[in-house]
Structure 1
């Protein structure tokens, strides 16, 4: 069931065992971190379980990982692990290209900020002032409040379309106006709520920003970003060109699904370049982090002025800045962004005032939890305060009690394209297991209270409830409701 994204628990080991890590910088720190991974959930009273990166890559079906760490305003170390392309046998090294997914957004946002600093656009002006061949459709929502670059960058413009699935290499690659008009594989991008009134993540909004930059500069976005952002930052391996040029394909990692299976066509292509189109490396993203940190610290000839960077790192709704997400305040301020494309999962976390950052890129749909464990390990080593390890207290329930929850459950709503949807709860060797027959996946439940359970693997929570006259109810993550039917 895609709606639930239950974890697939399929083991593999072939991807890591044949690989040789490649690195630059402080190998001692890298070795400690990669051998000290800790799961996000720990059971109270039990010894903390420590894993190696190789073990967790195999466990999570992640063929390849690339990491860069910034300390004292420079790259302290960078390292690649595992397989980039199972077909060719190529391995991940520090220069292997990964799709950045939504980490494309804060880098692309620099284009709009540079144009604003040059006086070519205003952040608070109606973007239809700058758009030429395509306009944001007028509606009841735009009568008094307008779509502006500031609102697009902070996800407060009221625009639709959360994200983009990309296009198989064999598919026709649409132009940006085709995407905006909903004639690709996603709906049309428009405004369905009054701009400025709420925060709602919108890749569609960044696609409008992309069109503004192209119309103002009279250049394709990838060319403008190459000339005005990537080259000045020294991001020599990075490109927004989509599809990736054939002569650079050997530099790129392939993409893998949650089972560790190579995605058909090796990867998807993204015409929505600002939202999802960047190919890059952790070391190149580290240069972006270092530049922003240097400007905050007083650098005068940076990619932006200190005043503009201060505006960029000022929290708006939902703690969002002009591009990156923001966390903490004052000297502990963090600017960050995650990224998810088909077969790629990434994260970038940087301290605005401390010259420290970590960027992790993986070539798998299932890379998110692995990234969390790497950050836990790095945070402990560097004393960053980023660790998200949670200790929970579990209890024992009798087989008789557990048997009360066994059965077939129907989802409370109809699933588009599937109709009625069912899952099963089984009792095996004294433990409840949730089976998703449609997706052929399962996960085990551990009791924390008489009616509350947790998936120790993923952290998902299941709460059962029952009444004398009604069926047993299964509530998944306080969101998805199932009723016991058998």
Structure 2
């Protein structure tokens, strides 16, 4: 009797296991179909009516991008992560979900977490003068700052009015400067001194220089190397154990590092640049690890986790400071009623972008080892469409119209955008072209008799007549409205 009952239990258990396996198989099949839809559904920020989508392989070839790595977050979990192409083309080393890329300015987001950890622990008041915390170097205030202090919130939100937008890095043959040499712009630093450009608190003006000051604040408060503090207090607690701020990444297996490439597909000398400006540009990571940061931020924002920052500190980090978008290490985007925290990055031979929704637990990370990051928007558009991520699908469809050559000719001329910077409109047959001072010639495509659009960037141009029918203004729509007066 016992044997029969035991046999019956075994059969029932096996039946349940088979059912679970079949269910998992269906889930995997469904997921694989979604991944394939993403891979075949790339579209740009600008589409024309009837235009077919591209595949990820098509666009990698088009842009000469060697490697791409992607992760999708859904409902506070990593839905999938996948690599494409080559981490190193010469060695035929493929990109995997473990391949590390330079995160470039995305480093600033994780830096914000580290700095606010010090705030949360009561070691730093983010509203006080930074010179209260800087001990190895002091910021040299001058008349430009107009007797206003710079605080840590200013540094993280780019509202300190400081110079040095970004950094070019160093080759493996260069002598590396200390952090203080970088701040002072002294040899062997290859960047300018970090000084006041205008008074703090006036507006947001992106400054990697300001973030580098926050790096020194962390070091002066903790008396630890920056990379060591960040690994132990930020990366490791969030599970980002594959990631490192160490520059160069001496303790990381070389085969895990992606090689950097120019936009023509040739490798950067020495395979990649070194960034002692660790807080601003020095993180090596991958989309899987960045997804862990995004998910932890989303859960902490909801009060459901506190691996590094609690809910109150996370909300502080995600709140824009003196600006509608620039928060403390992140930018807040709102589109179609959905808010995302996000950051992009651009180092020599690397481009990257992430988005994480404040609610709902959705997100995306894309990293490429190329100077050309145009494919990233196309991948994000495809993911947003497949997964119905509200506010992330940002492609606009235009319908081209025919415009008579005599009408096109009336738009030809020179338009002054500002003193010394003009837009020249020319015609060749039934095509109109625009060229801004110091820039290349771009095709203009008609969406109406007097309105045109570009296919390479989201810009629209409208020609305005006076009451006598004479063209007097070229109105440019690009992050706002700018009028250029016709001068020739």
- TM-score, structure 1 normalization: 0.82
Identify the residue that residue 332 of structure 2 maps to in structure 1: 326
Identify the residue that residue 126 of structure 1 maps to in structure 2: 129
- The structure number with the bigger radius of gyration is 2
Identify the residue that residue 443 of structure 2 maps to in structure 1: 444
Q: Structure 1 438/160 Cα, relative in aligned 2: closer, same or farther at 3 Å? A: closer
Identify the residue that residue 393 of structure 2 maps to in structure 1: 387
Identify the residue that residue 291 of structure 1 maps to in structure 2: 296
Per-residue deviation at 1:109?
Answer: 1.1
Identify the residue that residue 396 of structure 1 maps to in structure 2: 402
In the alignment, structure 1 residue 378 sits paired with structure 2 residue 377: no
Q: Give distance in 1, aligned partners of 2:218 and 2:30.
A: 37
Residue 27 of structure 1 contacts residue 77 of structure 1 at CA under 8 Å; is this kept in 2? no
Q: Deviations over 1:133-192 (max 9, x none)?
A: 211112235464211111111111222211112223322221111111122222111123
Q: Structure 1 88/481 Cα, relative in aligned 2: closer, same or farther at 3 Å? A: farther
Q: Give distance in 2, aligned partners of 1:110 and 1:304.
A: 7
Residue 411 of structure 2 contacts residue 425 of structure 2 at CA under 8 Å; is this kept in 1? no
Q: Deviations over 1:205-245 (max 9, x none)?
A: 10010010011111121111011111111112111111232
Counterpart of 2:354 (choices 345, 348, 359) is 348
Q: Structure 1 133/453 Cα, relative in aligned 2: closer, same or farther at 3 Å? A: same
Q: Give distance in 1, aligned partners of 2:260 and 2:425.
A: 31
Counterpart of 1:34 (choices 1, 16, 39) is 39
Identify the residue that residue 249 of structure 2 maps to in structure 1: 244
Q: Mapping of 1:206-355 within 5 angstroms?
A: 206-245=211-250, 248-316=253-321, 317-328=323-334, 332-355=338-361
Moved more, 278-287 or 375-384: 375-384
Moved more, 294-303 or 108-117: 294-303
Q: Give distance in 1, aligned partners of 2:71 and 2:150.
A: 36
In the alignment, structure 1 residue 365 sits paired with structure 2 residue 371: yes
Q: Structure 1 309/432 Cα, relative in aligned 2: closer, same or farther at 3 Å? A: same
Identify the residue that residue 69 of structure 2 maps to in structure 1: 66
Per-residue deviation at 1:445?
Answer: 2.4
What runs of 5+ residues in structure 2 fail to find an aligned partner?
1-27
In the alignment, structure 1 residue 157 sits paired with structure 2 residue 156: no
Per-residue deviation at 1:320?
Answer: 2.2
Q: Deviations over 1:277-317 (max 9, x none)?
A: 11110000001011111222323542111111121122321
Per-residue deviation at 1:356?
Answer: 1.5
Q: Structure 1 128/246 Cα, relative in aligned 2: closer, same or farther at 3 Å? A: same
- TM-score, structure 2 normalization: 0.82
Identify the residue that residue 456 of structure 1 maps to in structure 2: 455
Identify the residue that residue 9 of structure 1 maps to in structure 2: none
Residue 415 of structure 2 contacts residue 484 of structure 2 at CA under 8 Å; is this kept in 1? no
Q: Structure 1 434/82 Cα, relative in aligned 2: closer, same or farther at 3 Å? A: farther
Q: Give distance in 1, aligned partners of 2:230 and 2:30.
A: 29
Per-residue deviation at 1:131?
Answer: 0.7
Counterpart of 1:180 (choices 173, 183, 189) is 183
Q: Give distance in 2, aligned partners of 1:285 and 1:447.
A: 41
Q: Structure 1 443/331 Cα, relative in aligned 2: closer, same or farther at 3 Å? A: closer
TM-align CA RMSD: 3.4
Secondary structure of the 2:35 match is helix
What runs of 5+ residues in structure 1 fail to find an aligned partner?
1-22, 416-420
Residue 317 of structure 2 contacts residue 327 of structure 2 at CA under 8 Å; is this kept in 1? yes
Q: Give distance in 1, aligned partners of 2:42 and 2:462.
A: 29
Residue 227 of structure 2 contacts residue 244 of structure 2 at CA under 8 Å; is this kept in 1? yes
Q: Mapping of 1:41-120 within 5 angstroms?
A: 41-43=46-48, 46-120=49-123
Q: Give distance in 2, aligned partners of 1:190 and 1:371.
A: 33
Residue 78 of structure 1 contacts residue 94 of structure 1 at CA under 8 Å; is this kept in 2? yes
Instruction: Report the number of matched residues.
Output: 452
